[in-house]
Amino acid sequence: MSVIESLRGGLIVSVQAYPGEPMRHPETMAQIALAAERGGAVAIRCQGLADISAIKGQVEIPVIGLWKEGHEGVYITPTLRHARACIMAGADVVAIDATRRARPDGLSYADTVKALKEEGALVMADCGSIDDARMAVEAGSDIISTTLAGYSGEREKTAGPDFELLDQMVTEFPQVPVLCEGRVHSPTQAAEVMAAGAYAVVVGTAITHPTTITSWFADAIK
Ligand SMILES: CC(=O)N[C@H](C=O)[C@@H](O)[C@H](O)[C@H](O)COP(=O)(O)O
């Protein structure tokens, strides 16, 4: 079965810790990824070359790798160099910023995807709007996703997943795998995005970010 086919209908778990956080260590991330695999994840999404390699060493399921540089503007795998490095580190799919903003290396999104495809890589397009998705499909991305909805200035940051953008994407691109990622906070919401036509759902915070999960409970009993 192809990597993309193996994601169909499944749960992808995003395993990331942010700079300065207590769990930001490749071995810790790899342990969480393995736990997620045992729980039924069909793939892991993770950040940074050390985490990608450590996680590849632990799990059998595919790894979607990205490399975050900074946290403003184009920061998810911002350049072709970052994308190539993710593949070299072992990622089965590389996730890259697929907004229409200028990229730090001056390449267009289409040029970046073209180079990666020529090298045999699979590309996940992290989109923030339907216009981004159009550009990403035109460029030949293997997967498109709602990852940047609410973070790139084109969509409101909904409390839960951006169902409206998901609907636009699956309606306009029925032939392209559309992932729903971002603020999927419960099993019910995960089921809802699948019912809405997502090819697969990506859950990060609600499974792998204990500080945030703890704050949900702490706030609820204040
Ligand atoms: C916008 C951005 O930088 N998103 C990042 C992308 O890799 C991660 O910080 C998110 O945790 C991930 O998308 C999963 O989303 P959520 O944690 O909401 O389930």
Bridge partner residues of 144 (DSSP): 125, 178
User: Per residue, what are the HEC states of 46-83?
Assistant: EECHHHHHHHHCCCCCCEEEECECCCCCCCECCCHHHH
Amino acid at 81: R
- pTM for the model: 0.98
Residue 195 class from Cβ within 10 Å (0-12 exposed, 13-18 middle, 19+ buried)?
exposed
Averages of pLDDT over runs of 10 residues in the chain (222 residues) are: 97 98 98 98 99 98 97 96 98 98 98 98 98 98 98 98 98 98 98 98 98 98 97
ipTM: 0.99
* pLDDT for res 57: 98
Q: Closest Cα to atom 6, ligand 1: which residue?
A: 147
Tell me, in angstroms, the distance from the centre of ligand 1 to residue 31's CA: 19
DSSP state of 70: S
CA dist., res. 13 & res. 138, Å (int): 27
CA dist., res. 140 & res. 163, Å (int): 24
Tell me, in angstroms, the distance from the centre of ligand 1 to residue 204's CA: 6
CA dist., res. 216 & res. 218, Å (int): 6
DSSP state of 199: S
Bridge partner residues of 195 (DSSP): none
* pLDDT for res 43: 99
Position in ligand 1 atom list of the atom nearest CA 18:
9
**Ligand 1 proximity of 184 Cβ (cutoff 6 Å):** yes
CA dist., res. 5 & res. 15, Å (int): 21
Identify which of 44, 129, 143, 181 to mutate to test ligand 1's pocket (most ligand atoms within 8 A of the CB). Answer: 181
* pLDDT for res 190: 98
